Amino acid sequence: MKALSIVWTCVNLLATFSLVSAQEIYGNTDAPLVAAVLGTKIHTGDPDEMKYVILAKLLDQYAEDHDIGVKPVEIDTYVESLHRVAERDRKRHEERRQELSRKLKSTSLTASERKSLSSELDTVNEFLNDVEEMTKSTAKNPDEVRQYREQVAAAFIKQWKINRSLYKQYGGRIIFQQGGPEPLDAYRMFLQEQKKKGAFMILDKAFEEKF
């Protein structure tokens, strides 16, 4: 379920990126004007939302300037790779479930051992049930699920290419996030450079400190 949460977050960010690109004003104009980026005025009361919008606009422009795109074959390869990993994980859990069930049949287990094994078996069963539900959902809407997975794959691949390009350009330290390696210092230097160029401006001092 954690993996599903991460994926949904990525899809929501994709929707945000598209909205930012389509408007010169982002957000409800009743909200305070807190920043501007590449001609887009940002209205929001959430500093995290402001950060996402600024980064989305700047990185989209960076990708365009450096001819960074995603090819269909790259998306297909990524999706198939995820499928292989998921199938391998499912088989591993199936084998573990059989092993746990076999161990629980033993009459020599202590109460503590039986409780521990039973708890793990519940977790394994929960995982396999989630997989089964996802498989059923995919079977009902294969085209919709495929399109959804391709959108997520394209977003991950594009971000990876942007991160790689930023690291090659600026260097520095790398940290590992849920989405993969992230060039920490490169982001900082990139943003400092963009700010000096006037690509973005944070009008709310409190928001600037959090950014």
Domain extents for the chain?
A: 2-70+171-210, 73-153
Query: Cα dist. 35→27, 193, 194, 198, 201 in Å?
Result: 11, 17, 14, 12, 6
Q: Any residues with CB less than 8 A from the CB of 173 and at least 6 apart, and which? A: 183, 184, 185
Predicted confidence at residue 144, as pLDDT, reads 87
Give 55's pLDDT tier (boundaries 50, 70, 90): very high
Tens of pLDDT along 27-42?
888 999 999 999 899 9
Residue spans of alpha helices (H) in the chain: 2-22, 47-65, 72-104, 111-140, 142-170, 184-197, 205-210
Burial class (CB in 10 A: 0-12, 13-18, 19+), 96: middle
Tens of pLDDT along 116-166?
999 999 999 999 999 999 888 888 888 888 888 999 999 999 999 999 999
| % of the chain residues with pLDDT over 90 | 70
Collapsing DSSP to helix, strand or coil, 43 comes out as: strand
Give 4's pLDDT tier (boundaries 50, 70, 90): very low
